[in-house]
Structure 1
Amino acid sequence: MRTQKRPDRDGGTLEQAKQVCLRLLTDRAHSRAELTERLARHGFRADVAEAALERLAEVGLIDDAAFARQWVASRHTHAGRGRRSLAAELRSKGIGEAESSAALAAVTVDDERVRAAELVRRKLRGTEPPADRLDRDRLMRRLIGMLVRRGYDGGLAMAVVREEMAAVAHELSAPDPADDDPMLTS
């Protein structure tokens, strides 16, 4: 079991605070605000924490703008988050408005539409087509709700769900080309 160095009675040393931050940064990137909070929870004095964070920022280990860009790219691509959800996540991580806006600008409306369509297609894969209008409407509400909870705009969610459900319905109603091939039907 790994023992964690706790700051001494006078609020810790600069070296101890840097070590705590470096351990945290080996797992994943952290914002300056996250590291500040963690150092406070560990009992470091504010001046010791600030000096440690300033030193780590000087050497490039803490960069909120780079953190925001990486967070947005990762969460949009891998978790399917929309801009609204990403903005809330960045606020919760203590990222400032300027860094947040710059990072979110990398996700265009087209990017959101493509990712939302992928999510809907994945949910529709393997599902039975709705038997009637009531089932279709229920499925549409579920899919739109899923996208809105992930931070996509309601209008975009509705448009994407309609498009994807229409595409699935078209695929299901399209005749099988093998039916017209006399070689395959004999």
Structure 2
Amino acid sequence: MPAEAVPRRRHLLRDGPRGGDQRRRLRPQGSRHLLDRRDDVRGRAEEGRDGAGRGPARHQPLRQEAIAPRRSRSRRSPGPRDAGPALDERRARLVAGDLLSRRPWTRAELARRLVRRGAPADVAERVVADLEARGYLDDAAFARRWVEIRLARGYGPARLRAELRARGVAAAPVDQALAAIETEAAVERARAVARRRLAALRSAPPERRAGRLRDHLLRRGYPAPIVARILREMLGVDAAGEE
């Protein structure tokens, strides 16, 4: 719209320097702005006033056809993501190699991830079997490494067994990895975990410390006999919390 078609009013246009009056910042901003085509609206209102003898133009209702309609923003309903092309065996091998370059994977985890990436189940199984035959996948080595890392963080055998089984490691490799854990070493790790937990339970009531310490050790995966032994040594109570 040409600039001369818009009447210059200081309370609507930003002709002067900016100041504290925010009304000066209001001006037409394109064909869909509220102030656009207002001359057409005023002209039609004046025609209606002259013909019907009505009041001032500012009291005339604005006609809908004189105002540019606003487009309503249509929001797309969240739907499922468009499935990409299925991975053939060559592309599935490339994806598997990229995943293995980042961190170790179990056989079951890698097969599930390839299926999620778009590989058919039979293609994912063939790729995983080939990688296992070449030595790139080894569930037994994964289990040993997992036990070593998680033991250093204070987790017990029961917790480690559940984590490995959830990752698809078979029972035999899990048993072999956990068999290397010595009982006395597990007790010593449980003592260290209990000391740190008791330091955090200083403000707790004395009658509740035993129960909270017992629950913490059990959540960490330590077996009940070791938990009972730690409670007797450190708090002088049994697993039930009785002295």
Q: Is TM more than 0.5 here?
A: yes
1:1-186 pair list within 5 angstroms:
8=85, 11-78=86-153, 80-125=154-199, 128=202, 135-165=205-235
Displacement of 1:62 in angstroms is 0.4
Displacement of 1:82 in angstroms is 1.0
Equivalent position SS for 1:125: helix
Displacement of 1:154 in angstroms is 2.1
Higher RCO structure, 1 or 2 (CA under 8 Å, sep 6+): 1
Runs of 4+ in 1 over 3 A off after TM superposition: 125-130
Displacement of 1:54 in angstroms is 2.1
**Contact 1:33 1:94 (8 Å CA) reproduced:** yes
Structure-2 change in CA distance of 1:129 and 1:38 (3 Å): closer
Q: Deviations over 1:14-71 (max 9, x none)?
A: 2211222222223321110001111111121122212221222122110011111111
Equivalent position SS for 1:71: helix
More helix by share: 1
Please give the TM-score of this superposition, normalised by the length of structure 2: 0.58
State which drifts further: 13-22 or 64-73: 13-22
Equivalent position SS for 1:47: helix
* Equivalence for 2:73: none
State which drifts further: 156-165 or 110-119: 156-165
Q: Deviations over 1:157-179 (max 9, x none)?
A: 1211331346xxxxxxxxxxxxx
Aligned-residue Cα RMSD (Å) equals 2.2
Q: Deviations over 1:67-121 (max 9, x none)?
A: 111111111112x211111111111011111111101112222222111101011
Structure-2 change in CA distance of 1:128 and 1:81 (3 Å): closer
Please give the TM-score of this superposition, normalised by the length of structure 1: 0.74
Displacement of 1:126 in angstroms is 6.7
Letter in 2 for 1:66: A
Distance 1:106 1:89 in 2: 17
Identity of aligned residues (%): 38
Q: Paired residues, what number?
A: 154
